[in-house]
Structure 1
Amino acid sequence: MRLLALSEEIPSVVSRDLKACGIQLIPYGKQAEWTGQKVDGVLLTKEASQGAWEEALPVLSATPGLLLLYGPSIPYGWAQRLVDNSDGDEAWEVVRMALVADGEKALIGGTADGFWVRTLCRSLAKSQRVSLVCKAKEVDEAVRQLPLYFVWKERFFVELGEVCDQEGISLQTVARAMGMDRRVGQDWLYPERLDHRRVMQWIEREGRLVAEKSNVHRVALWGPAVLWREMDKSWLQGKEVCLVTQEDESIPNDIFPEWTTNRTWEKALKDADLLVIGKPDGIIRGLPLHELVLCMKQAIVLDACACFPLQEARSLLHSYRAIGEKTNVWE
């Protein structure tokens, strides 16, 4: 399936996800660059692109087809408004699409017996993805409610972690036991959360306790800059702080003027007394703990993401603290 992308910029993650679903994008450009190319329809990823679609209609009218609305910037109800304003023109089939479950499943909003809805479902099936066909606004509602549900679920388990701390038991074990019920599931930490305040409050509280109980001079913060903007940083005053950054992350100098940044974990963790993990990535999840211990001055880890196996952390690290897990802690 080939779609003309009428947005000037398509996020790389959108192109990657659609390609995995069997959808090839023809990049946006001047009319001469794509006139005459056979396309099955048009991709819109933001409402501002509607004008470009309307301008392209005279050229595209010879091969009308799918009008696919996909991506994080699709306004609520936009797909339905396009259907309502079509004036009975059935040539363009409007479909709202969203991927869920880490891209393993798809929500398809449109006419159940529509040609392009069925075609999309077949294409997704070939890429081993299950589809749920429903109304466009039902897709919008599911997309709107999912992040809110994740926030609620994470809040529940963070509060359960406080209970586990008081009782001297493991949150990971309790969560795993509860997750044996399919209505709960095994996963409760969602690093892609929209609201980081609760986790940042936990990090601040535990960070202050570390500073009181341990001789900490150098602190390494693992996670994007946006995380640490939401944290009360007063407990870091007087300490040497290094932020572990990714290659593609731009950090203005005026945000954390007293902090240093490093794009390699070896330099960031060298001689660090405390490592604070705010958001995991493939590097930290795959980092052997013995290498981390050798790099740091003191192997004290404050982990809001449960990156390491508890038994290994207990045996190798000087102190390890995760939500609901008091392992070799400073209390």
Structure 2
Amino acid sequence: MRLWVISEEVVNRFGNELGACGIELSVYQTDSSDEVADGFLLTKETDGKLLQERMQQLGTGPWLTLVYGSDVPYDWANTLHAQYEQTGEHEVIRMALFTHERALLGGEPNGRWMRFLCKQLARYSLVSMVCGMREVDEVLRQLPRYLAWKEQFYIKLGASCDEKGISLLQVSRALGMDKRIGQGWLYPSRQDSSFIVRWLEKECRLVLQKVNIQRIVLWGEDWLWEHMSSDWLAEKDVAVYTGEDKPIPNKWMMGWTLYDSWQDAVKDADLLVIGNAAGTTIAELPLPELVNAMRQSYVIDAAACFPVQEAQSYFQAYRAIGENTNVWE
């Protein structure tokens, strides 16, 4: 399946995840109207205005209009459906993808493109649930709220585990045996990073009191470090790794060095601070290689990247949320 998009920016943002579903994205050009495609991908409201202009050039469909992404206004897909329902030019489908090979599709259950898309996703091992467009919008609105509440609960549970000297990892796994709760409590794409930031800063201040730390590596996406106080990092050599091929953020701390290679970032480091592992390879790294690159192997990990026992056997000290209570004593 091939869908036209408005710009190369859309391809860069959504091309990989949709490509894994067999959906190819192609930037529509006015001089390539003879190029074959099945319809359009809309990711924000302004795309709809440009869609009307393209339709005047292309003529009638029937086209698939796939509405996708978190930037789409609530109920916009349903509005588009009502707009094109009488003419039959478009079949509008609201789509969301989840982890673990799941897809949510909102639209006409017996629509031609709906049936085609369900089969297409099945060929790529994705299980689809078909519902109304507004239901998809409501799910996408509530999902980050629920995940944030779940993460806050486990962070508070981690504090309780610290006090009792027990493992949050084991407690969370045990709770997750109940399918109503499920495994995996960390929310990597969190909208509110305040809980994680406070925990990281508290733990970092503790280790700085106990150990001679000169070079610190901050590993994670830049938005996390933008919300962290920098006073505890004063007079330290601070290296930052946000993942390969990431653009330099607009807001950047003076005196911090941004690296595009994790090997260069962690070289001769005393303390590795992992705030977020999304978009990076840290959980896949061989721990001996990581340890050998560092001068001292102290690690504070808010993303639970490594099995606790393995991490403790390699690092001089390893601190994760709710694990190894008195590591800095």
TM-score interval, normalised by the smaller of the two chains: over 0.9
From 174, 177, 185, the equivalent of 1:177 is: 174
Shift of 1:99: 0.8
Moved over 4 A (4+): none
1:285-312 deviation line (CA, Å, top 9, x unaligned): 1222222222222211111111112112
Shift of 1:7: 4.4
Q: Which residue of 2 aligns with 1:161?
A: 158
Shift of 1:247: 3.4
Shift of 1:315: 1.8
Shift of 1:138: 0.7
Q: Which residue of 1 aligns with 2:53?
A: 55
Q: Which residue of 2 aligns with 1:101?
A: 99
Correspondences of 1:63-78 after superposition (within 5 Å): 63-78=61-76
1:240-292 deviation line (CA, Å, top 9, x unaligned): 21112433223358621111222222322222211101112543112222222
Query: Which amino acid in the other structure matches residue 316 of structure 1?
Result: Y
From 277, 290, 293, the equivalent of 1:292 is: 290
Scaled by the length of structure 2, the TM-score of the pair is 0.93
Whether the 8 Å contact between 1:314 and 1:327 is mirrored in structure 2 is no
The structure-2 alpha-carbon separation of the partners of 1:252 and 1:133, relative to structure 1 and needing over 3 Å to count, comes to closer
Q: Distance in 2 between matches of 1:82 and 1:160?
A: 44
Query: Which amino acid in the other structure matches residue 178 of structure 1?
Result: L
Q: Which residue of 1 aligns with 2:84?
A: 86
SS at match of 1:9: helix
Whether the 8 Å contact between 1:176 and 1:186 is mirrored in structure 2 is yes
Q: Distance in 1 between matches of 2:190 and 2:6?
A: 29
Shift of 1:183: 1.1
* Residue range with higher mean Cα deviation, 253-262 or 88-97: 253-262
User: Gapped runs of 5+ residues in structure 1?
Assistant: none
From 258, 281, 284, the equivalent of 1:261 is: 258
The yes-or-no answer on 1:202 pairing with 2:199 is yes
The yes-or-no answer on 1:233 pairing with 2:230 is yes
1:68-125 deviation line (CA, Å, top 9, x unaligned): 11123211111111123337223321111111125x1111111112121111111111
Q: Distance in 2 between matches of 1:287 and 1:85?
A: 51
Q: Distance in 2 between matches of 1:125 and 1:116?
A: 14
The structure-2 alpha-carbon separation of the partners of 1:114 and 1:208, relative to structure 1 and needing over 3 Å to count, comes to same
The structure-2 alpha-carbon separation of the partners of 1:254 and 1:55, relative to structure 1 and needing over 3 Å to count, comes to closer
Q: Which residue of 2 aligns with 1:310?
A: 308
From 307, 310, 317, the equivalent of 1:319 is: 317
Whether the 8 Å contact between 1:43 and 1:70 is mirrored in structure 2 is yes
Correspondences of 1:9-158 after superposition (within 5 Å): 9-30=9-30, 32-33=31-32, 35-86=33-84, 88-101=86-99, 104-158=101-155
Correspondences of 1:247-286 after superposition (within 5 Å): 247-251=244-248, 255-280=252-277, 281-286=279-284
The structure-2 alpha-carbon separation of the partners of 1:68 and 1:253, relative to structure 1 and needing over 3 Å to count, comes to closer
SS at match of 1:21: coil
Q: Distance in 1 between matches of 2:198 and 2:312?
A: 24
Query: Which amino acid in the other structure matches residue 68 of structure 2?
Result: Y
SS at match of 1:95: strand
Q: Distance in 1 between matches of 2:180 and 2:154?
A: 15
SS at match of 2:65: strand
Shift of 1:133: 0.8
Scaled by the length of structure 1, the TM-score of the pair is 0.92
Q: Distance in 2 between matches of 1:243 and 1:16?
A: 26
Shift of 1:65: 2.3
SS at match of 1:276: strand
Aligned length: 328
Query: Which amino acid in the other structure matches residue 75 of structure 1?
Result: P
User: Gapped runs of 5+ residues in structure 2?
Assistant: none
* Residue range with higher mean Cα deviation, 21-30 or 139-148: 21-30
Q: Distance in 1 between matches of 2:165 and 2:327?
A: 12
Query: Which amino acid in the other structure matches residue 292 of structure 1?
Result: L
Query: Which amino acid in the other structure matches residue 136 of structure 1?
Result: M
Query: Which amino acid in the other structure matches residue 297 of structure 1?
Result: R
Q: Distance in 2 between matches of 1:88 and 1:283?
A: 49
Query: Which amino acid in the other structure matches residue 287 of structure 1?
Result: L
After superposition, the CA RMSD in angstroms is 2.0
Shift of 1:8: 5.7
Q: Report percent identity of matched pairs.
A: 48
Shift of 1:12: 2.4
